[in-house]
Chain A
């Protein structure tokens, strides 16, 4: 039978999840292979070069650049404090001497006789890498970091904002079809990962932030609300570094759209458990999607193993989500896979497929406009 391939977001009740935790520059790895770690444990530590402060000595002292070396009171490699006198002019007959205090603390890295400029290197900046998930260290990369593995529930979102965080799961709405509104946010949700059903409102985000919620996950968000939350229009989907005091992940897309009911049910069955969440999204070559990872315990119920479809393969009966208007967000199963391209309403010719929607109706859509729901 003909098969087509299409990307999809992963929603898995049980998978082996590996987190590669790496320092930006070499440093010390604090764990060994086989060690059990918790998400909040530090696994590697280092420091990176401090910031550089250029000091234009020649212009500040009003002397030619070539005179600067002779006026220095410090030499290359010396540590200076903010306010330390680093250079002094000779004045005229000893009068009118001009002194220059260091504008910052640091180490003298270089002084140029061409430009009369001093480079001060600030104190090293400490960098720590946390484990991010509860699991076992399976590999140590000497001086770089470690790989941690766990048996986990793994759910990819479609878009996130905000960085890594960890917290217990709290289900805030009664079902996947209910929007996450401010009234659903409770005072005791501080530090938790709150799961809603459909659209998150801007008011809900504000209430969650005020309550100290670590992250919120829901089906959709209105573009206008996201703009309100961020304070700007998200131009390109490269996120993760936003400093908005909370991480937000949407699982389906923009607009009033409910979370896929199986995804919601999966969250429900793990309510109260620690979840590791990362909002970073990069939709360019080498796609990165936001994620929610819940480490499984030995006594967790084993998910029913259905026959696993070949990864990415599109077959009759495959569960799909329609991802483009006029059917955006609808779910269904593949009912036919015609091989010949068809003319679309737009006038373009494209390969299509027929989808039986959950309400029983059938629609024809371009193959580019569906996505697999991987379980």
Chain B
């Protein structure tokens, strides 16, 4: 055992695995799944959940884990939890009880909360933020020399926050030393108090100019000297042209496990139980998405909308990004969504007249009683309207964040002399998006799959051909951590049991006068259909998940579905539980100005896509 309670884990013989238990310890619920080898395939066979037990009176996360695994054992007819509450391991191939490996992710206790710092907000501080978010952290604040705050305001802010760790970047290797040392000097006297009590030495990771490391070491002192535990890793931005997030991300994971988790109630036991390092939940989701994108050479976006926050993950051209929109969510943060988006923007998605004063009170009542669910059809329409705006705003924030490196000089040609930029453009390209995955209550638990698909299309506005899917029971975190042990099993379960393919969005980029021809389509193969859509129209062609069809689209001039303006495009696609949603509303999506016209249009679209509850 090490000081932090890690048991030395024996190497896992993948060929002998049959029963894999995985949990995700969330803030409120611990979700467990059982993955079994059925014949030659890996399948997710059972799921169960139990309240998370990090808070008093239990204050031991393993109680909730034991409860969830006991339930899963009852469902599977196999005992996984011993009388003393520990996990039973299979001792031989014929053993009638126990599992082969147990793995877990965690976001309990509010997840991993970090403060990041850099010299320039748009450059090194942005890189530090990307590293922290990519590792699955919540970034409480970003400190930078040019963040328009006075030094004492920065110090005051750091004092108020109680981060689990601090990541400091700044300066390219061999570049400016003074400014990054100045940032360190402001963090040290602020003495940020960690959440887990007095004996906890605040971990500080330095990933800046390597020449500043000796001074930074002097400022934070040795371990046990000034209340900090400093580690120095390779520079996050060794040159302006290069971003090197790996070492900082890895160190964040290590520190999360060794310090943060080890101080949370019961985590020493959970770490000892687990056969792979416990990952922060969003970090695991990001990992599985990256693996899928890499394997299938896809550009993919995954969104997880919760009660308090919305996470957006993307992989474009192999580059991974993650953002957390801290106050965009469907219960705790619902009021904030309405405040940020504006009630007019929420109500544009509602096809019936509603009293705004009444709605505002309803929103606040949902905020203060976040566990309630919509009872009437009207309440559901409104809730899904709020969701569209939360998703739209979260995606905008993601696009603004997922950029090429700022500060990088571009190679110029005479042709782009007048459009010279110094980088920083979004790498998220809606026309290049291949797969859009939804998860989170309002998307996963919508009474109709059509509603989920419509919410995705309305808020993300995909262009061209984009496959729509949802995470059936939110098992991407489990599969992300499983991939670190057994990538093949994780991929197999992802394909077979995790993703529910909803179908395709086929949408034209461009704008035109409503009523004018936008594109015509022809579907052939397992399903035959054809039609012509005018601008402002939508249509749905049902193609079942197992059916394959060829889709040919001929856009009018000025509209693009992936082959260029006015150019015909043909794709072979497999169907989904909803089918193919043809969308001629144009991009960017605009709605009629007058309330009556808008309501009529929204009602027409809902009807055409089968969104309305029958």
Contact = CB atoms under 8 A, between A and B. Distances in A.
Contacts of B190: 52
Most buried by A among B181, B186, B368: B368
Interface string B365-377: 1111111111111
26 contacts: A51-B156, A54-B155, A109-B189, A114-B215, A115-B178, A115-B181, A119-B185, A121-B189, A234-B335, A235-B335, A235-B339, A236-B333, A236-B335, A237-B332, A237-B335, A237-B368, A281-B368, A284-B308, A323-B372, A324-B369, A324-B373, A326-B375, A328-B362, A344-B375, A346-B613, A369-B372
Interface residues of A, number: 51
Contact of B375 (A224, A236, A365): A365
Given A223-B360, A323-B372, A347 B336 contact: no
Which 6 residue pairs of A and B lie closest in terms of their CB atoms, listed nearest first?
A235-B336, A347-B447, A347-B613, A346-B380, A54-B151, A254-B361
Contacts of A236: 308, 327, 332-333, 335-336, 367
Contacts of A49: 191
A27 interface: no
Given A236-B333, A346-B380, A366-B373, A223 B361 contact: yes
A368 interface: yes
B538 interface: no
A283 B336 CA distance: 14
A7 B339 CA distance: 28
A114 B376 contact: no
Interface residues of B, number: 56
Nearest to A284: B332
Interface in B104-130: 109-110
A303 interface: no
B55 A285 contact: yes
A368 B445 CA distance: 15
A328 B185 contact: no
A219 B442 CA distance: 30
A115 B185 contact: yes
Contacts of B374: 324, 344, 346, 348
A158 B369 contact: yes
A196 B360 CA distance: 22
Given A52-B152, A235-B335, A347-B448, A117 B372 contact: no
Given A119-B189, A324-B373, A348-B447, A114 B613 contact: no
Contact of B373 (A224, A281, A285, A350): A350
Most buried by B among A7, A109, A325: A325
B375 A324 contact: yes
B368 A233 contact: no
Most buried by A among B55, B215, B335, B372: B372
Given A119-B189, A285-B27, A285-B55, A324 B372 contact: yes
Interface in B420-479: 445, 447-448
Nearest to A115: B182
A7 B372 CA distance: 11
B370 A283 contact: yes
A366 B375 contact: yes
B27 to A, nearest CB: 4
Nearest to A255: B361
B152 A51 contact: yes
Given A115-B182, A235-B339, A371 B375 contact: no
A110 interface: yes
Interface string A102-134: 000000011010110101010000000000000
Given A236-B335, A284-B308, 5 more contacts: A51-B155, A234-B335, A236-B336, A254-B362, A284-B27
A346 B375 CA distance: 6
Interface in A358-373: 365-366, 368-369, 371
Most buried by A among B155, B181, B365: B365
A347 B327 contact: no
Contacts of A286: 55
Contacts of A110: 185, 189
B360 A224 contact: yes
Nearest to A223: B360
Nearest to A122: B152
Given A345-B377, A347-B447, A324 B365 contact: yes
A358 B358 CA distance: 23
Given A159-B368, A236-B336, A346-B380, A325 B189 contact: no
A234 B336 CA distance: 7
A213 B372 CA distance: 34
B11 to A, nearest CB: 37
B403 interface: no
A335 interface: no
Contacts of A7: 371
B28 interface: yes
A341 B332 CA distance: 26
A159 B332 CA distance: 13
Contacts of B540: none
Contacts of B376: 325-326, 344-346
Nearest to B370: A283
Contacts of A46: none
A136 B454 CA distance: 60
Contact of B445 (A52, A54, A114, A348): A348
B6 interface: no
Contact of B155 (A52, A325, A347, A365): A52
Given A54-B152, A121-B189, A283 B377 contact: no
B396 interface: no
Nearest to B329: A236
B373 A254 contact: no
Contacts of A368: 371-373
A271 interface: no
A65 interface: yes
Contacts of B110: 285
Contacts of B448: 347
B16 interface: no
A345 B373 CA distance: 11
A344 to B, nearest CB: 5
A53 interface: yes
Interface in B186-213: 186, 189-191
A41 interface: no
B363 A223 contact: yes
Contacts of A374: none
Contacts of A283: 332, 367-368, 370
Interface in B370-419: 370-377, 379-380
A222 interface: yes
Contacts of A53: 151-152
Most buried by B among A112, A223, A345: A223
A253 interface: yes
B263 interface: no
Contacts of A65: 178
Contacts of A233: 335, 338-339
Contacts of B372: 323-324, 366, 368-369
Contacts of B182: 112, 115, 117
A222 B363 CA distance: 11
Contacts of A366: 372-373, 375
B542 interface: no
Contacts of B191: 49
Contacts of B181: 112, 114-115
Contacts of B362: 254, 325, 328
A15 B576 CA distance: 57
B330 interface: no
A218 B604 CA distance: 44
B611 to A, nearest CB: 11
